[in-house]
A and B are shown apart, each in its own frame.
Chain A
Amino acid sequence: MQDFFINWLANVPGTAAPYAFAALGLIISERSGVLNLTAEGLMLVGAVAGVGTCLTIGNHPLVALVVAMLAASIVSLLFAGLVVILRVNQVIAGLSVVFFCQGLTGLIGTLANWQNHPIAGLNKIAIWPLSEIPAIGRILFVQDPIVYFAIPIFFAVSIFLRGSMLGLKLRAVGENPAAADAAGLSVSLYRIGAIVVGSSLLGLAGGYISVVSVKLWITGMVGGRGWIAVALVVFARWAPWPALAGALLFGCIEGVVPRIAAAGIRAPQYLVLMTPYLATLAVMIWVGARNRGHQGEPGALGQPHVREERR
């Protein structure tokens, strides 16, 4: 029994990491007032770019992850151009970019023959001597470097949003673009910047799945995690630390699935695979049931901004 729990919890940070990075990236871009539904697609871009890099230049996982972040940021410019410059409906633009990415990554993955080729990827490292502590040692101190990297990133984004001039301006753009415009900020530039920076984290999330977790590329391997991340952001009320908590919760839920089979418990395989999605729905229902008003949502989320409007 104890083994079951330790095995399960030891894998939670690794399972939670993609959710955490994706949610953080979405928070950054949505704080600027842009409804960002592109997570699933950009994570795929990061995933395929990560594995592709390893297969092309040899196994340099950190380089691969950086490439993943860059690739996602570049593709996010398409989304940014659509919603900020062309004022396309943000839902349609987000969905289109997701399908664009699904098609593009599938195409590239197949044409470049990257599909189903395992890579060495990135492995966990043990922080000795802390890793020797019974039970907790394995859970907290034997993880891959990216998991550890998450902590300073979350701190940085949190401080950025609450206590910096740039963060103040970003939040103003998301709450009341008219006020931000009046204060001399370029709403468009802030939104584009937020989308690009946020998308780099989406790329990292996707790259993590392919380079660190699964260590290969399969078409569509993100498997809906992007949509769960979108729901997570609502649940976390657009704040970084609650998002991390939510990511850990989903890491637990997703992590339980393989453990059950490994523990020899016989359960209908596909029904068990449904659990993360059912859990997300349950969370969203719970959020809806407890909330009376829209708390935390950036005031101008989803509305395009044009200055010369006539009533």
Chain B
Amino acid sequence: MTSALELTGIKKSFDGVVALDGAVFAAKSGEVHALLGENGAGKSSLMNIAAGFYVPDIGTVAIHGEAVALSGPADARARGIGMVHQHFKLVKPFTVAENILLANPQRHFRSGIRDIRDGVRKQAVELGFDIDPDRRVEDLTVAEQQQVEIIKVLLGGAKILILDEPTAVLTDVEAERLLETVRRLAQSGVAVVLVTHKLHEVKRYADAVTIMRGGRTVATADPRVASAAELTELTVGQTAPLPDRTERPLGPTLLNVGALHCARSDGQVMVADTSFFVRAGEIYGLAGVSGNGQAELAEALIGARQPLSGEIWLEGPGDIAAAPAAVRREAGLAAIPADRYAFALAGSLSIADNFAVATIESGCYGPPWLIDRAAIRRDASEAITAYDVQGVRSVGQKAALLSGGNAQKLVIAREFSRQPTVVVAHSPSRGLDVRACAAVHERLLAARDRGAAVVLISEDLDEILALSDRIGVMTRGRIVAEFDRPADRQEIGRAMVDHA
């Protein structure tokens, strides 16, 4: 049987940075074919080429055996390829029906909307979704928005469905439901490509798996036969050792959050009456699917967002909820935000400057009227070496040139240059490969061992389970349950869902 979708010899670079180096892929109709690999392996880039978003430098795309040159996403859709991205391509203020009408244009608006509404209702029922076509997309939950994307793509006539990390934004229960639906779709003849880095999904739901690493395809396998260990080794190249944990005596409470309320930029309240505390020498992990207030909580803690009410108490200055960020920094708070280039680094400025900005107020780099540039360069170079930041030709180069993992190491180098007492880390290993991930985890544990109070907010349950001494589950803006180490994954999952 010829493959429904086949990519051969794909090479793609972005301004000199190689993303794909001779990748291949083939999926058949009626199967769920997983595309497995770590962050940065090139999976999304490869699928974006299949869906017409990027044009390969070299290589071919073939649909049902016929080579095609896609002129854009609309062309790919016309040929039956539909992709659901990690970041949904939905227009938030539009209704569900309007969004689908946009992607599947009809001749007239009024009749078109009517037809789309009927189509949506029918398709939703078939898939087991509960979607009202007249609701605005911005009022739907993340899982529902994803369902809209899938309906959109199927109504467009897709016979090849590509899902890019679909379960990253879902709870365990929602993920299961989605993957069951996906399996049923495959059985009805659709070719489903499941891009993921989660091995357990591959083992449970996929009929075949292609493994990518470093921009190339390293192997194709049958996940029902291959063992988890084999697949892991193919994916990461070598298993990274788990960091050591030492038992530490706990110190006094250094951070106490009480009845915190925060709103998002558009006014919607995301954090509602959240309270928790963290002691010296412990890592408090906040688990939960993103979109439940974690981002707003993290921003409130680091000083990027004013909470509506409540208190954030730090040992030393006391309640700093309304105080400017500088007060927290003085008290020893270190921030490792999720979006590096939004809150942690100024990409257009040099590595040295990005390193020095945290401590320059103390006067160690000269008096206010004259900056000591030599001292900045010296300290920055030392820190780069100490924290193993790669890809640095000179500390004067722009910070934006660093890769994800190295940028994160720079952030940590800067934040830890002051021996912090409280560390707030939000999704610190997002987008990092395994080695960089391990380095970050080591640093967080080291901070904890030195007596800092660490708040770890992450959607990666594995990361939380590996690092945390105590775990809090955050759903719909509040902490609904707390667990001590060792925590049961099932119970945590249940806590996330029961209160949803």
Q: Direct A–B touching in the complex (beta carbon < 8 Å)?
A: yes
* Shortest distance from the beta carbon of A27 to any chain B beta carbon, whole Å: 16
Please count the residue pairs between chain A and chain B whose beta carbons lie under 8 angstroms apart in the complex: 75
Are B91 and A307 neighbours in the complex by a CB distance under 8 Å? no
Q: Which of A4-12, A66-74, A120-128, A175-183 contacts B (4 or more CB under 8 A)?
A: A175-183
| Known A165-B107, A179-B102; contact A299-B93, beta-carbon cutoff 8 A | yes
- Give the residues from 151 to 204 in chain A that come closer than 8 angstroms, CB to CB, to chain B: 163-165, 167-169, 171-172, 175-176, 178-184
What is the CA–CA distance of A175 and B109 in the complex, to the nearest angstrom? 19
| Known A172-B91, A308-B14; contact A180-B102, beta-carbon cutoff 8 A | yes
A310: nearest residue on chain B (CB-CB)?
B14
What is the CA–CA distance of A220 and B33 in the complex, to the nearest angstrom? 66
Are A163 and B91 neighbours in the complex by a CB distance under 8 Å? no
Are B98 and A168 neighbours in the complex by a CB distance under 8 Å? yes
B 1-33 to A, binary, CB cutoff 8 A, 1 in contact else 0: 000000000000011010000000000000000
Which of B92, B105, B106, B107 interacts with A299 by CB under 8 Å? B92
| Known A176-B89, A176-B90, A293-B267; contact A183-B107, beta-carbon cutoff 8 A | no
What is the CA–CA distance of A293 and B92 in the complex, to the nearest angstrom? 15
Which of B17, B75, B92, B404 interacts with A175 by CB under 8 Å? B92
Please name all residues of chain A whose beta carbon is closer than 8 Å to the beta carbon of B15 when the two chains form the complex. 310
B110: nearest residue on chain A (CB-CB)?
A163
| Known A172-B102, A184-B72; contact A165-B108, beta-carbon cutoff 8 A | yes
Residue B77, interface by CB 8 Å: yes
Residue A266, interface by CB 8 Å: no
Are B94 and A175 neighbours in the complex by a CB distance under 8 Å? yes
Please name all residues of chain A whose beta carbon is closer than 8 Å to the beta carbon of B102 when the two chains form the complex. 168-169, 172, 179-180, 183
Please name all residues of chain B whose beta carbon is closer than 8 Å to the beta carbon of A180 when the two chains form the complex. 91, 102
| Known A163-B110, A168-B98; contact A182-B91, beta-carbon cutoff 8 A | no
What is the CA–CA distance of A172 and B90 in the complex, to the nearest angstrom? 9
Residue B143, interface by CB 8 Å: no
Are B109 and A165 neighbours in the complex by a CB distance under 8 Å? yes
Are B14 and A176 neighbours in the complex by a CB distance under 8 Å? no
Are B17 and A310 neighbours in the complex by a CB distance under 8 Å? yes
B 362-392 to A, binary, CB cutoff 8 A, 1 in contact else 0: 0000000000000000000000000000000
Please name all residues of chain B whose beta carbon is closer than 8 Å to the beta carbon of A290 when the two chains form the complex. none
Instruction: Decide if the interface of chain B is mainly helix, strand, loop or mixed.
Output: loop
What is the CA–CA distance of A169 and B91 in the complex, to the nearest angstrom? 11
What is the CA–CA distance of A178 and B72 in the complex, to the nearest angstrom? 13
Are B94 and A172 neighbours in the complex by a CB distance under 8 Å? yes
Please name all residues of chain A whose beta carbon is closer than 8 Å to the beta carbon of B87 when the two chains form the complex. 178
What is the CA–CA distance of A233 and B103 in the complex, to the nearest angstrom? 29
A307: nearest residue on chain B (CB-CB)?
B53
* Shortest distance from the beta carbon of B358 to any chain A beta carbon, whole Å: 24
What is the CA–CA distance of A164 and B87 in the complex, to the nearest angstrom? 27
Residue B291, interface by CB 8 Å: no
Which of B53, B91, B108, B404 interacts with A176 by CB under 8 Å? B91
What is the CA–CA distance of A8 and B73 in the complex, to the nearest angstrom? 57
What is the CA–CA distance of A168 and B101 in the complex, to the nearest angstrom? 9
* Shortest distance from the beta carbon of B220 to any chain A beta carbon, whole Å: 28
Please name all residues of chain A whose beta carbon is closer than 8 Å to the beta carbon of B74 when the two chains form the complex. 183-184
Residue B265, interface by CB 8 Å: yes
Are B89 and A294 neighbours in the complex by a CB distance under 8 Å? no
Residue B247, interface by CB 8 Å: no
What is the CA–CA distance of A163 and B113 in the complex, to the nearest angstrom? 10
What is the CA–CA distance of A150 and B168 in the complex, to the nearest angstrom? 51
What is the CA–CA distance of A105 and B123 in the complex, to the nearest angstrom? 58
Are B109 and A168 neighbours in the complex by a CB distance under 8 Å? yes
B 99-134 to A, binary, CB cutoff 8 A, 1 in contact else 0: 101110111111010000000000000000000000
What is the CA–CA distance of A302 and B341 in the complex, to the nearest angstrom? 20
A166: nearest residue on chain B (CB-CB)?
B109
Please name all residues of chain A whose beta carbon is closer than 8 Å to the beta carbon of B72 when the two chains form the complex. 184
| Known A165-B112, A168-B101, A294-B266; contact A178-B89, beta-carbon cutoff 8 A | yes
What is the CA–CA distance of A178 and B103 in the complex, to the nearest angstrom? 12
Residue B54, interface by CB 8 Å: yes
Are A184 and B93 neighbours in the complex by a CB distance under 8 Å? no
B55: nearest residue on chain A (CB-CB)?
A308
* Shortest distance from the beta carbon of A309 to any chain B beta carbon, whole Å: 9
B48: nearest residue on chain A (CB-CB)?
A308
Chain A residues engaging chain B, CB cutoff 8 angstroms: 163-165, 167-169, 171-172, 175-176, 178-184, 292-294, 299, 307-308, 310-311
Given A176-B89, A178-B87, A293-B267, 8 further pairs, Cβ under 8 A: A163-B110, A169-B102, A179-B89, A183-B89, A183-B103, A184-B75, A294-B266, A299-B92
Give 16 pairs: A residue, B residue, CB < 8 Å, sorted on A.
Answer: A165-B101, A165-B106, A165-B109, A165-B112, A168-B102, A168-B109, A175-B93, A179-B90, A179-B102, A182-B73, A182-B89, A293-B267, A299-B91, A299-B93, A308-B54, A311-B404
Nearest 8 pairs of A and B residues by beta carbon: A184-B74, A182-B89, A179-B89, A293-B266, A310-B14, A293-B267, A183-B103, A176-B91
